[in-house]
Structure 1
């Protein structure tokens, strides 16, 4: 009998080691935040917007938002506050579920807010254990809230369209951690992806235009304030200067007669900083590969000499794109390509003595030597137009 009591006592004693689910949070009590948007109001207060999925309406819904639910597959709401957390707390007051931020993948910042400075964002986000520094930062043309109101046709949620565009092969992948490092490192300024909303063309008279999300380039910062935008060739030039192997599309002219479109990929850049006769110089060497995606004008790419002409035209395009990006930096007094960091690492004494206190003003007098070597690796399945004849005139 005593043995039985002893066993029962040990079993009951072992129950003390079981903590149970005293701090459990049910999924049905959680609102998963897909993305957040930050704007500034006219009175200087912060507008904080969130997007959340509606699980009960996700079985075939086409999406929607704007602060109402109905049959929409997601819900958008926003609130104003003096700080981010104050606005977030006001949002929480009218939500029956607790907002959960661990699944957030993008943070949208309105253009007006970015121009006033983004440094405060790097205080509120890292303080929360649910927030991740690997989320993508995106500056929006106009209000960030408006980007949440987009109606992309290929994704269920606008946040998914934003995330897929940010991760595309033709875009520099910039997360919050990288922006923070650029803001805190000597001789560098930050850049972020820049996006906007574009209305699609009507396919018929009664068709409703969709609001698609569009990648526009990169927002340019001086310290933590937005000063400009790298667009088109400037954006590609910035990617090459930052040694980011993005895929770019370039259209070049050959002999002022032939027009060829190329897909440039697998690029590599090296930058060396030094002084020559007391003048600062940066040597930039870039290598790239490309393939022909279209050729207008019956240009025969089976001939080695003509292939070399295309490579030379591509070299000029890449160099011009990088010089456009450099001129944009000098014009807006920024160092988005982190030339100062190269100088600081290679010549720390020279940096501290002559340039640290006045950078990036030192870029105005610097000499930028650019050398580009590109190789045409593919012409597609054909060398020239399959008709092999000039069109009738």
Structure 2
């Protein structure tokens, strides 16, 4: 009798079944996932962190730790106590950030967890000394995500920023941070990079990094009592803000003249070179930086009326095309020409001048082009005097340099400091708004 070709002896079948069973058992053992489980109830989630230089030369590190029991189902919006009850601050003085984390972990009844960290603020004194050494622990520790935002406290300590923070609407610290990042970018008065973006710029060649500066408005701080800000009487407000109105807001690093709201304000950027803060630029200069760096998208711009110097007009300017930069060499000295293109929608004309017409609209366009071109040259000149280039103008040279080694050896910032700079702004007004001319009152 012939044997079937597919016939398997009984002993072989038994051996195969045994091996399959053993394989399944080994796989089940390897797939068990409870040996390193971390329950939420055992974790203390650090939401924000601040780093300052202490008087004795050590570091003061403040941690704001979330209190889950005080967070409502709507992300903290329903709790009347405010952000202080949703997060609790702990400040530790130590020789390093890592040591401060270890000490804080020894006094908190749960294990510190930084996976939900949204923000790190450095004090101005520490920023001027150099923040580079303190990014080592952030880069090496897996829990520090590179999507964390980095800020610099203006004229003060990072700890004061956290203690004086009174959000107008949000109670959740995460929502507040994300809201600030979104709204600051809408007007371009500052720039808020992530840890990854800042480290990339710091480690890059021929470019200087920038960080946002967050300050405490002294007028609003005087109105603050606990978690509430009560606006002061009109006569007192005018007395407090009169010294602040000599220059237009955002044209200076001084506090904005205002009352009410959050004492914190974001107007300006810190220019960093080799990890150190070398200068502070006001919000207006931050806009010019955004234009050249191609990070600007839209914003309201107010200009002096060309026919009535005591009045103003406002246009919402939107990015039209990427900036164009041409660099020509005259020996070792470059000639830099910068061209930006914008489109505008009229938002306000205080005077009764009939600018919105085919014959007159060019008057507003030419005035804006002149002012923005002048501001570009002025702001670029400030960078040249400090021998820094936060605009990353060297990126327009990369295609003309044969090798990366030659690009790295360019010594661009020193050469850029001697460059002749000129600028041009091309602005086209597209829409007048919901009406053509400014309404003129009837004569008496």
| TM-score, L = length of structure 2 | 0.77
Q: How big is the shift at 1:340?
A: 3.7
Question: Cα 1:210–1:16, aligned 2, differ >3 Å: closer, same or farther?
Answer: same
**Corresponding position of 1:238:** 289
Deviation of the 1:143 alpha carbon: 0.8
- State the Cα deviation string for residues 348-374 of structure 1 (Å, max 9, x = none): 6899599834x4232232111212111
Aligned position for 1:118: 131
Partner of residue 323, structure 2: 269
Contact 1:301 1:383 in 2 (8 A): no
Q: Measure, in 1, the Cα distance between the counterparts of 2:350 and 2:295.
A: 30
- Correspondence for 2:150 among 102, 122, 137: 137
Q: 1:38 aligns with which of 48, 51, 54?
A: 51
| Residue-by-residue CA offset, 1:269-310 (whole Å, 9 max, x unaligned) | 122222146641112121111212211011334312321111
Q: Does 1:249 align with 2:300?
A: yes
SS at match of 1:91: helix
1:31-84: CA deviations, max 9, x gaps?
22211111111222111111122121224243243xxxxxx1211111111111
Partner of 1:389: 441
Taking the aligned partners of 1:235 and 1:317, their CA distance within structure 2 comes to: 15
Aligned length: 376
The Cα of 1:16 is off from its aligned counterpart by 3.2
Question: Match of 2:211, SS?
Answer: strand
SS for the counterpart of 1:137 is strand
Residues 281 and 209 of structure 1: is their aligned pair in 2 closer, same or farther, counting only changes over 3 Å? closer
Pairing 1:167-182 to 2, within 5 Å after superposition: 167-168=182-183, 169-171=186-188, 172-182=191-201
The separation in 2 between residues aligned to 1:80 and 1:255, in whole angstroms, is 56
TM-superposed deviation, 1:264 = 1.5
The yes-or-no answer on 1:48 pairing with 2:58 is no
Match of 1:94 in 2: 107
CA distance in 1, matches of 2:65, 2:112: 9
Cα distance, 1:332 vs structure 2: 2.4
Matched position secondary structure for 1:298: coil
Partner residue of 1:371 out of 400, 424, 430: 424
- Hey, what's the Cα distance between the residues in 2 that align with 1:20 and 1:352? 52
Alpha-carbon shift at residue 192 of structure 1 (Å): 0.8
> 1:292 pairs with 342, 346, 357, which one?
346
State the structure with more CA Rg: 2
CA contact under 8 A between 1:37 and 1:50: conserved in structure 2? yes
Judged with a 3 Å threshold, the aligned counterparts in structure 2 of structure 1 residues 173 and 61 are, in CA distance, closer, same or farther, namely: same
Q: Name the counterpart of 1:161.
A: 176
CA–CA distance in structure 1, aligned partners of residues 44 and 419 of structure 2: 53
* 1:62 aligned partner: 81
- Cα distance in 1 for residues equivalent to 2:353 and 2:62: 53
Pair 1:190 & 2:244 matched: no
Report if the CA contact (8 A) 1:355-1:362 is conserved.
Answer: no
Q: Which runs of 5+ in 2 are unaligned?
A: 1-16, 73-78, 224-229, 234-258
TM-score by structure 1 length? 0.86
Q: Distance in 2 between matches of 1:232 and 1:219?
A: 11
Q: Say if 1:273 and 1:346, in contact at 8 Å, map to a contact too.
A: no
Q: 1:16 to 1:186 in 2, by over 3 A?
A: closer
1:1-41 per-position Cα deviation (integer Å, ceiling 9, x unaligned): xxxxx99x959947535414111111111122211111111
Change (3 A) 1:252 1:17: closer
Q: Deviations over 1:107-156 (max 9, x none)?
A: 21111111010111331112111111122211111111111121112111
Cα deviation 1:180-206 (Å, max 9, x = unaligned):
12222221111011111225364367x
What does residue 91 of structure 2 align with? 78
Give the alignment partner of residue 342 of structure 1, picking from 369, 389, 396.
396
Cα separation, 2, equivalents of 1:58 and 1:77: 19
Q: CA 1:351/1:270 → structure 2, altered by over 3 Å: closer, same or farther?
A: farther
**Contact preservation (8 Å) 1:344, 1:351:** no
- Asked whether the 8 Å contact 1:153–1:210 carries over to 2, the reply is yes
Q: What is aligned with 1:302?
A: 356
- CA RMSD after TM alignment: 2.9
Question: 2:268 touches 2:284 (CA, 8 Å); kept in 1?
Answer: no
